[in-house]
Amino acid sequence: MAQKSIILVTGGNTGIGYETVKALYASPDAYVVLMGSRSLDKADAAIKTLQSEVTESQSEVVPIQIDIEDDASIERLNKEIESKYGRLDALVNNAGGSHDAAMRENPTPAGIREAFDHTYSLNVTSTNVLTHTLVPLILKSSGPRILFVTSGMSSLDACSGGSSISSAHKAGLPSIPAGWPKQPVLSQIAYRSSKTGLNMLMLEWQRFLKEDGVKVFCISPGFLATNLGGMGPEKLKEMGAKDPSLGGLLIREVVEGKRDADAGKVVNAAGVQAW
Ligand SMILES: NC(=O)c1ccc[n+]([C@@H]2O[C@H](COP(=O)([O-])OP(=O)(O)OC[C@H]3O[C@@H](n4cnc5c(N)ncnc54)[C@H](OP(=O)(O)O)[C@@H]3O)[C@@H](O)[C@H]2O)c1
């Protein structure tokens, strides 16, 4: 019998991460899906929901504690995967967040620094530390893939009004009247610049690991109704966000090799996102 692929999804207990675990669990292919979660209680509750939503599966889903901002947690996870499975076939770097709202509430230098530091620590630094730690296990796979969940908001082309800009993005980038201080605008300056940084991280890992046969991608899942930013899924739906299952299905396609021709790029549902 073929070995089950071992897939780790960070932030797998909710939102797009949960939908990724669910899409893999519902696949006709067989996986061991490691549902990464900061809290094992949250993972256990999410697995109960999953098993009530998907009643037949070729796969197993296993809760695993991971806080990507905590080096001890990363090391424990690394040792656990090494001792139980000896390799990792796909790493889905999904855990991430937007902390711009905190900066709007406290627009002082200290508040701005804190929001930027938290956002970059989570979306860039910690994602890189986890990836770096797990590379030896990834190199033991016969078909290794690394995915980084980025955003449409990371696109330099879209932000600068380039040819790839969609009407949704245009609406999100109204021109801002002259004068200082600016009236509060729904800016995502820390989030979007951290995700542009994440795109560069992906390119660097693609370059480092290309000759090792590792396929590396960014995934741009689209605007989806999750807890991102803290407004809650219902509010995001009112703003036009779609069902997070779309993100899970896109990520599954990439994990299953259907988008291998796009390795080293930012993959979205329509094709490839402009840088
Ligand atoms: N929703 C969108 O429209 C959208 C669009 C583009 C990209 N994305 C990206 O998609 C990814 C998933 O976000 P989401 O929309 O599903 O948001 P979400 O519902 O807020 O889920 C975020 C997940 O990340 C986890 N997380 C946060 N900090 C962590 C840490 N330090 N260590 C480990 N896990 C941590 C959260 O855990 P807890 O449950 O413990 O908080 C949660 O599981 C993010 O990278 C986000 O930037 C989202």
Task: For residue 67, give every residue at least 6 positions away whose Cβ sits within 8 Å of its Cβ, in sequence order, or none.
Answer: 38, 73
Site to probe by mutation for ligand 1, drawn from 9, 13, 16, 119 as the one with most ligand atoms within 8 Å of Cβ, is 16
- Is 48 tagged catalytic? no
pLDDT bin (cut points 50, 70, 90) of residue 170 is: low
pLDDT digits (tens, 9 = 90+) for 27-73: 999 999 999 999 999 999 999 999 999 999 999 999 999 999 999 99
- Is 142 tagged catalytic? no
pLDDT bin (cut points 50, 70, 90) of residue 146 is: very high
pLDDT score, position 42: 98
3-state helix, strand, coil in the chain (%, to 5): 50, 15, 35
**What percent of the chain has pLDDT above 90?**
84
pLDDT score, position 199: 98
Q: Is the pLDDT score of 185 beyond 80?
A: no
Q: Which amino acid is at 162?
A: G
Indicate which residue of 98, 120, 191, 265 is catalytic: 191
On average, the pLDDT of the chain sits at 94
The strand ranges marked E within the chain are 5-9, 31-37, 60-65, 90-93, 145-149, 215-220, 266-268, 271-272
Indicate which residue of 37, 126, 141, 195 is catalytic: 195
pLDDT digits (tens, 9 = 90+) for 260-270: 999 999 999 99
Tokens of 52: 């009530």
The atom number, within ligand 1, closest to the CA of 122 reads 31
Q: How many Å lie between the centroid of ligand 1 and the Cα of residue 134?
A: 20
* Model pTM score: 0.96
pLDDT score, position 45: 98
pLDDT digits (tens, 9 = 90+) for 196-212: 999 999 999 999 999 99
